[in-house]
Structure 1
């Protein structure tokens, strides 16, 4: 496909010449519904400059729609982090164009080790509608996505209230049983947060919360395809089980994603090691300390992990999350066609573990900010 662009807007599309390079791909701008930071910038520091830096670095890699993920923290820190996103949107046209929503992953998560993941147990608490309303007041008019562990007492009522307020509820970091998953779905939950991760290390063979979410057509599942969080067979089975349009890719990237390999110290994981392939580990161990590749790398790796096509991977990183946003009232993301303001051209051949980004259209063109 070829695009005719004027003033940063796609005016028309047409078939590409047949003698073009078969390893050059043109796709809508990528849509990441779960990302914590990138390139040394962190959405969870409560600083507008960090938000702008992360967004600029992600856009340069083709992720033109960014939903910052704010993780479990004290009530005051959560409000500060959300406010920083909104300050950055008001001050920076690129952030305003690229950030159409915010995802709060916690604090309404399971306190159980394993299911809690890296979230600080001191900041885990029961779902609270009053706290949710305080987030909405800060983030308005942006829609909110909120991850909830549905086994909390009162969680079903909270989900019902949140959905009535226009909040999109995702299930994750949970030890819920199948009945609790079903009750959350009946109350209006529509997403699964990084399905297969944020769960206890041991599960009943069946039923369990993973099978229950795979079997629920009402739940569209986010999946991390870095090659570390889910093995290839599990990832393939999940994609096929959810069917066409039932799953999408997320990076869940932390601030060290896109940084040079080496030893680092982080506020959450402490001493960590970043390997050249993007594996982020607790120093001296094999335990993961977060995700450290971006969405562009994740879509490049999906075919090698699952034998699914790159076309399928691109759809899971554009069209499907774009539809999730559309259901929340954010239109026009993850598609190509007249009126589109975001596209990415990249090089990828079978077997490549990453893409080479060649050009990015929009949402607002500007060079990436320098690292912190």
Structure 2
């Protein structure tokens, strides 16, 4: 399979399936040319824009929330994600002590300053907590002792430590003063996402009016039982202003719920991995600093060791979630891929929004697609290939993400 010649890549367009040649120059796409049908070759790879993941807690044994966070961990994770086709991402800091959040934010900022790959790939930090619901169910695995109401002074300290890198903050608008906090974030250019919430529909609407623009893993981080209506999931689905993030690993949400989110949100439907450190690791039993004893099944389900019905996080890489949407018939390949590339890029205001278009960054992925599986072949970041031949260091050891139980 010869898909590359100099700065020109040939492959099947991820949206149309037609053969195209993508010319790269200076780190951007110079042109996208349709190849006449008579020149088509068999077994051509598919070509698509790089994936954009707004929520990554860890992968391949690397953990953004195992403190103290090392800048080297961020660099390793960046390279591991590149090999999964993720060319842009938001490392995610979850609920912790104020000092812990500040330390992690400083480490990510240091990595961005000192590592060109991290600088090019990290679109900003996603701060998921501590301004979440204290209630069991919506809180999920976030430690109750660190949960609290929105605190602008604390947020400013963390943003200063992050050198302005905090780009998304997940908030539950059930707290008094949430609307004011959301408005201040929006004014400062920080995107506010509603999540891990037990807010009333009125509080959801107030948050949207104040500037909230997204729902964090909609349908998860919720009570096991909700009123038939109204409830906070219906309210977020109905809010046209909100992008809806979803985890499509076959375990977090059933196909019917994914179908509803896709239909309601359209171009504002976003796939996120919400990956934890066990994503990409071999199946087996592990011990984690947050979830305790957990089990990762061969199918990619991560659950508590003593209760297989309770999930312990997401462990499916973003390309496999794209394939899941397509295989379930919930979206065609192009539409599923856009949920993990063009749509999140649009939310962040990135030039990848248009997909494969001239002038966009040459962040590209070549892959094989057999209509039941998706296999990555090569990732390009700013026109430079990332090596897919060797496993990255992150795949070979577990520096802080968990040990075999």
Q: Quick check: TM above 0.5?
A: yes
1:279 and 2:279 aligned: no
Equivalent of 1:24, from 21, 29, 45?
Answer: 45
Shift of 1:7: 5.1
Aligned to 1:4: 23
Task: Map 1:92-107 onto structure 2 (within 5 A).
Answer: 92-107=115-130
C-alpha deviation, 1:141, in angstroms: 4.0
- C-alpha contact (below 8 Å) 1:170/1:193 kept by paired residues: yes
**Residues 21, 216 of structure 1: CA spacing in aligned structure 2 closer, same or farther, 3 A cutoff?**
farther
Aligned mates of 2:145, 2:227 — CA distance in 1: 28
Q: Deviations over 1:181-208 (max 9, x none)?
A: 0010011101000000011111111111
1:176 to 166, 191, 199: 199
The answer for the alignment partner of 1:33 in structure 2 is: 54
Output aligned runs, 1:206-285, within 5 Å. 206-242=229-265, 244-285=266-307
Q: What is the aligned partner in structure 2 of residue 161 from structure 1?
A: 184
Q: Deviations over 1:208-239 (max 9, x none)?
A: 11110010001011111111100111111111
Query: What value does the CA root-mean-square deviation take over the aligned residues?
Result: 1.7
Secondary structure at the counterpart of residue 267 of structure 2? coil
Shift in Å at residue 306 of structure 1? 4.3
Aligned partner of 1:324 in structure 2 is: 347
Mapping 1:1-372, distance limit 5 Å: 1-6=20-25, 8-16=27-35, 18=37, 19-21=40-42, 24-45=45-66, 46-242=69-265, 244-286=266-308, 287-326=310-349, 330-332=350-352, 335-339=355-359, 340-352=361-373, 355-363=374-382, 365-367=385-387, 369-371=392-394, 372=397
Query: Does the CA-based 8 Å contact 2:380-2:386 persist in structure 1?
Result: no
Q: Distance in 2 between matches of 1:193 and 1:41?
A: 22
Structure 2 vs 1, CA of residues 24 and 60 (structure 1 numbering), >3 Å: closer, same or farther?
same
Q: Paired residues, what number?
A: 366
Distance in 2, matches of 1:212 and 1:74, equals 31
TM-score, normalisation: structure 1: 0.94
Shift of 1:369: 3.5
TM-score, scaled to structure 2: 0.87
What displacement does 1:39 show?
Answer: 1.1
1:69-89 Cα offsets, whole Å, 9 max, x none, are: 110000000011111111111
Structure 1 unaligned residues grouped into runs of 5+:
none
**Contact 2:378/2:385 (8 A) holds in 1:** no
Aligned-pair distance for 1:334? 6.8
Find the aligned partners of 1:237 and 1:285 in 2 and give their Cα distance: 28
Q: Secondary structure at the match of 2:326?
A: helix
Q: CA deviation at 1:142?
A: 3.0
Q: Distance in 2 between matches of 1:331 and 1:346?
A: 22
Q: What is the distance in 2 between the residues matched to 1:56 and 1:247?
A: 26
Give 1 or 2 for the bigger CA radius of gyration.
2
* Equivalent position SS for 1:245: helix
Whole-Å separation in 1 of the counterparts to 2:250 and 2:365:
23
| Aligned partners of 1:23 and 1:348 also within 8 Å | no
Q: Is the 8 A contact 1:236 1:306 kept in 2?
A: no
| Cα distance per residue 1:51-105 (max 9 Å; x no partner) | 1111110111100001111100000000111111111111211111000211000
